[in-house]
């Protein structure tokens, strides 16, 4: 949510100053909110998506010098403003968030209210993370088996919604389960699986690279037509996440 607020603010400022020329991009990661794509589409900029870690966003800047990098980040609270500090930049990001909060306050609003406005405009996206610790040799084997099961026996339906796409970054393939077509993924190989459901839900599974854990990232969304419907829609999203977790036997 913080990343979305900061990215939207930057895009809006670039637009107001006439700086959007059609060759700009924002950066995100494969486990982060799909709402970043919605922002990019609305402002006619590209949203480049990489693996987790700010080195991959920095690599985007290096690999595409002909494009202007506006900002970007990942789900683990990090953000990068512009292309000067090519790493997680807490100082500049904090200053940016203070500026957003100050402007919101001057307009009798708040960060929370500004976020809900974005949900009304782009859709209410809610993310959730489960991190399961599996220690020792047996734990490592269990994590490997869980990934193998998800990879070799992909779920066809979750929470009453068909799985329409499975991205396997270890095999570098994206399989459309509706058309049976397979495309190549161009990112570096990584032990990551992503399920896309027909209602826009996104489920990502990957082993941690630094801890004896397997992580599951969930992103669900619903339209929010009126701020008065916020609590009701939030309950729908919470129920979605709860049902998916139970159905996948993660609790």
What CATH number should be reported for the domain holding residue 18?
A: 3.40.120.10
Same domain, 146 and 183: yes
Q: In degrees to the nearest 10, what's the CA dihedral of 235, 241, 242, 247?
A: 140
Task: Give the end of a domain, one of 93, 121, 149.
Answer: 121
Please report the pLDDT score of residue 87 as a whole number.
66
d(C-alpha 53, C-alpha 36), whole Å: 16
Q: At what angle do helices 111-122 and 90-106 cross, to 10 degrees?
A: 90
Tokens of residue 133, six digits? 């610790």
Same domain, 73 and 164: no
Domain of residue 228, CATH code = 3.30.310
d(C-alpha 210, C-alpha 58), whole Å: 21
12, containing H or E segment: helix 2-16
Nearest CA among 40, 41, 44, 2 for reference residue 22:
44
Same domain, 61 and 171: no
Same domain, 135 and 110: no
99, containing H or E segment: helix 90-106
Q: What are phi and psi of 64, to 5 degrees?
A: -130, 65
Tokens of residue 140, six digits? 């490592």
Q: Is 10 left (phi over 0), alpha (psi -120 to 50) or beta?
A: alpha
Asked if 164 contacts 198 with a C-beta cutoff of 8 angstroms, the reply is yes
Burial class (CB in 10 A: 0-12, 13-18, 19+), 124: buried
Same domain, 6 and 117: yes
Asked if 93 contacts 84 with a C-beta cutoff of 8 angstroms, the reply is no
Q: How many alpha carbons fall within 13 Å on the CB side of residue 136?
A: 1
Same domain, 137 and 115: no
Task: Give the end of a domain, one of 121, 150, 175.
Answer: 121
31 is in which domain, residue-wise?
Answer: 2-121
Same domain, 27 and 57: yes
- For the chain, residues with pLDDT lower than 70 are 86-87
Same domain, 144 and 185: yes
Residues 6 or more apart whose Cβ sits within 8 Å of residue 139 = 133, 212
Please report the pLDDT score of residue 33 as a whole number.
95
β-bridge mates for residue 220, sequence order: 126
pLDDT digits (tens, 9 = 90+) for 101-144: 999 999 999 999 999 999 999 999 999 999 999 999 999 999 99
Q: How many alpha carbons fall within 13 Å on the CB side of residue 138?
A: 0
Same domain, 100 and 202: no
User: In angstroms, how far is CA 68 from the centroid of its own chain?
Assistant: 21
Same domain, 129 and 205: yes
- Residue 115, number of CB atoms within 10 A of its CB: 16
d(C-alpha 93, C-alpha 80), whole Å: 7
Same domain, 145 and 241: yes
Same domain, 56 and 165: no
**Structural domains in the chain (count):** 2
Q: In degrees to the nearest 10, what's the CA dihedral of 65, 46, 91, 89?
A: -60
Please report the pLDDT score of residue 75 as a whole number.
82
Task: Give the end of a domain, one of 70, 87, 121.
Answer: 121
């Amino acid at each position: 949510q913080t990343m979305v607020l900061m990215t939207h603010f930057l895009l809006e400022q670039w637009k107001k100053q006439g700086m959007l020329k059609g060759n700009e991009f924002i950066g995100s990661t494969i486990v982060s909110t799909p709402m970043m794509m919605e922002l990019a589409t609305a402002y006619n900029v590209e949203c480049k998506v990489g693996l987790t870690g700010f080195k991959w966003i920095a690599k985007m800047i290096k690999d595409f010098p002909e494009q202007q990098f506006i900002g970007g980040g990942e789900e683990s609270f990090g953000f990068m403003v512009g292309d000067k500090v090519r790493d997680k930049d807490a100082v500049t990001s904090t200053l940016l968030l203070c500026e957003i909060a100050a402007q919101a306050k001057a307009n009798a609003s708040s960060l929370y209210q500004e976020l809900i406005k974005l949900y009304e405009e782009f859709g209410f996206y809610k993310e959730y993370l489960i991190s399961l610790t599996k220690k020792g040799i047996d734990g490592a084997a269990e994590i490997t088996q869980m990934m193998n099961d998800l990879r070799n026996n992909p779920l066809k339906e979750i929470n009453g919604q068909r799985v329409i796409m499975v991205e396997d970054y270890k095999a570098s393939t994206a399989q459309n389960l509706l058309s049976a077509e397979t495309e190549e993924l161009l990112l570096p190989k990584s032990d990551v699986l992503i399920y896309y459901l027909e209602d826009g839900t996104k489920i990502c599974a990957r082993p941690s690279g630094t801890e004896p854990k397997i992580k599951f990232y969930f992103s669900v969304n619903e339209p929010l037509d009126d701020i008065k419907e916020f609590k009701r829609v939030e309950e729908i999203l919470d129920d979605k996440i709860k049902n998916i977790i139970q159905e996948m036997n993660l609790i």
